[in-house]
Amino acid sequence: MTQSHRPHRARRTGLLAAAVASALSLTTVALTSPSAASAEPAAPADAAPAAAPAVPAAAAAAVPAAGEVVVDEHFAGPALPAGWSAVEGDWKVENGRLVGTSANSGQQSRITFGRHLNDFRLEATARFESVQDAARWTAFGLDVPASGATPWSIATMRSGTTAANGLEFAQRTPANSWNVTNTASAPTAAGTGRDVRVAVEVHGTTARWIFDGKEVMRTTQVARSADGGQALVVNGSKVSFDDLKVTALAPGGWLRPAGSPLTVFAHRGASSAAPENTLDSDEIARRGGAEWIENDVQPSKDGVPYVLHDDTVDRTTNGKGRIRDLTAAQLDALDAGSWFGPTYAGARVPSLAAQLEDLRTRGGNLLLEIKGAHTRDEVARIVKEIRDHGMTGRVFVQSFEVDALRYTRELAPELPLGLLRGGLDADPVAISKELGLSAYNPADGALAARLGVVKDLHAAGVAVNVWTVDSAARWKALEAAGVDGIITNRPAELAGWNSAWLQGGTVTTPPAAPTVAITSPASGATLDRAQQPVTAVQANGADTVRLTLDGTELPAGSPLDTAALALGKHTLRAEATGPGGRAETTAEFTVAATPTGLASLVLTSGADRNAVATLTVMLGQGQYQPLAHWAENQAGRSIPADRARLIAGDARALDAAPRS
């Protein structure tokens, strides 16, 4: 990658060992059905998803905010929840769980619910109650019409989840056949009678499968529709579900989630295995597990955007000359494959339109570098091609050219942007904010000298994707440094490295934030001088707990000396700090004047016996004003001065209080 290749942090998708195995094959292969043990025919791999159609303005306005819970169902009622529609099979609520039954391997029992969402997380607790055999399965419907009719996209789980195809992403095609796009094995067996927590996070056509808290697989080939919602599917088994939730996510998801592997960007396609920037290279990258295909775009003499890295066609075709001096017809006639090997003789320099159509129909996402200086009109032509092919949700634009990014942002604010850099800016965060970047994409060597910028950029919500890295040792170092993705000439190898990383590494669950509560005195309590409650703090997940009273530190478990406090409100504040962060809470209580409290003040004041006797007599007769004057007169004499002031204050408060 010369100064023209960069990564994009994009939605995470599938990388499997199986995909790596087929990475260098362009032969269309038959794929296994989710019910592999049955005799159902499999659709070819190239029956890829159609692009998600543009969302109408009215629908876009109704998109829920990120983090909004769209469905939250615990099946507490006696019947199916409102809005849930049983399409096929037996569905009912029993003992606080939704139970779906499929009589045999040919029955796809389905229940639909939810609404159409582009970005969402679907999660539930699932349990196989019984199965006909270990190949039977249940699935999350990721895009299913409310009627349950085909086509639909699902994320599948067998009871035998440790099989090579224990987990799958699959499509039920309009022809009612299967197209399994990705398979993986889970770290443990679901079996029967065991609850497993499963989740799928979807961003457009990309998704990641999460099994018992660990990501196990990703895909870029979720077939999307204009209005499909969510569903549950059961095949040849009886499965129960609980605690089902659908949560809207923010678009993109450019930052790498904790426990997730690096995003794989195929530099000029699988350029180590096929001629760069061709549809052949793109196909091998896609089959090898690349989530994003990185290509360059430049205009022909007649203004048609073409996919080419160099400013001339000399190195990678049988032609000569600058791309900007050649017409579309001349570029279409060039052989862009023979230079790499005879197998690829006749490969063409693809137009951007051809590449977008290939991705739209066969699956995948495009990290598109606007190569070299472009005018606003030239950028507008690129934007038009992206929109005309319905690919705005699957293209990430990057460039070394700041003007090109500014034009793109002005013309198509919906497209995410990445800035390519051969050397780091003095302040990467500042320029990222100025340009509205989703990713900052530096050269590996430049980033290695200032790894701290990764944390700074992440704090600003900006992903970091590094180019061009083909060494496993550097993949390991960059993963440890927290970068989000890598642009590589070896996408299949990086996908395989990621798979090994997922299998070998344990996904550490971030420690939970501590909790803290003040249990004594209770917030809102009213205390008098005779009471001295012991302070009590309850904390979980904390290494240290600090308690303060009106800003002064107080050991937890020590009694409150109400005799030393002023009348009125006081604040206890507890702060707990632990591996998961910091938490704090407050409790307010009031010290009030009462005859009992005043008596306690007098008796514990340290005054001499005659003074105590005099004060007690006046207190018993309710002579609060004289008591106050006498205490002030004796301050520092027969009564300690600080206690005399408190006695006088409480006596006046009692004198001013309404008499019952």
Radius of gyration (C-alpha) of the chain in whole angstroms:
34
Contact indicator for 288, 108 with CB cutoff of 8 Å: no
pLDDT in tens, 302-339: 999 999 999 999 999 999 999 999 999 999 999 999 99
Q: Which residues contact 633 (CB under 8 A, 6 or more apart)?
A: none
pLDDT in tens, 524-575: 999 998 888 888 887 776 778 889 999 999 887 778 888 889 999 999 999 9
Q: Give the homologous superfamily in CATH for domain 263-504.
A: Phosphatidylinositol (PI) phosphodiesterase (3.20.20.190)
Give the residue numbers annotated as catalytic, written as ranges.
267, 309
pLDDT, greater one: 14 or 591 = 591
pLDDT, greater one: 12 or 504 = 504
User: What is the fold of 515-591?
Assistant: Immunoglobulin-like (2.60.40)
Q: H or E stretch including 498?
A: helix 491-504
Query: What is the structure's pLDDT at 579?
Result: 73
- Mean pLDDT along residues 653-660: 82
The number of CA neighbours under 13 Å toward the Cβ of 144 is 29
Query: What is the structure's pLDDT at 38?
Result: 32
Tell whether the model's pLDDT for residue 39 goes beyond 70: no
Helix (H, G, I), strand (E, B) or coil at 121: strand
Query: What is the structure's pLDDT at 9?
Result: 33
Pick the CATH number of 83-117+119-248 from 2.40.30.10, 1.10.1200.10, 2.60.120.560, 2.40.37.10: 2.60.120.560
- Per DSSP, what are the bridge partners of residue 417? 397
Q: How far apart are CA 213 and CA 259, in angstroms?
A: 9
DSSP of 268-315 = TTTTTTS-TTSHHHHHHHHHTT-SEEEEEEEE-TTS-EEE-SSSBSTT
pLDDT in tens, 268-298: 999 999 999 999 999 999 989 899 999 999 9
pLDDT, greater one: 11 or 178 = 178
Q: Are strands 214-219 and 229-235 parallel, antiparallel or unpaired?
A: unpaired
pLDDT, greater one: 39 or 375 = 375
Sign of the CA dihedral running 518, 520, 526, 531: negative
pLDDT, greater one: 260 or 334 = 334
Share of the chain above pLDDT 90, in %: 69
pTM for the whole structure: 0.62
Tell whether the model's pLDDT for residue 62 goes beyond 80: no
DSSP of 432-453 = HHHHT-SEEEEBHHHHHT-THH
Query: What is the structure's pLDDT at 591?
Result: 93
Average pLDDT for the chain: 87
Query: What is the structure's pLDDT at 106?
Result: 87
Q: What's the start-to-end Cα distance of the chain, in Å? A: 89
Sequence spans of domains, the chain: 83-117+119-248, 263-504, 515-591, 595-656
C-alpha distance from residue 345 to each of 199, 278, 280, 660 (Å): 44, 12, 11, 105
Query: What is the structure's pLDDT at 275?
Result: 96
Query: What is the structure's pLDDT at 522?
Result: 85
pLDDT in tens, 132-177: 998 999 999 999 999 999 999 999 999 999 999 999 999 999 999 9
Residue carrying structure tokens 């203004």: 303
| Helices assigned H by DSSP within 22-137 | 57-61
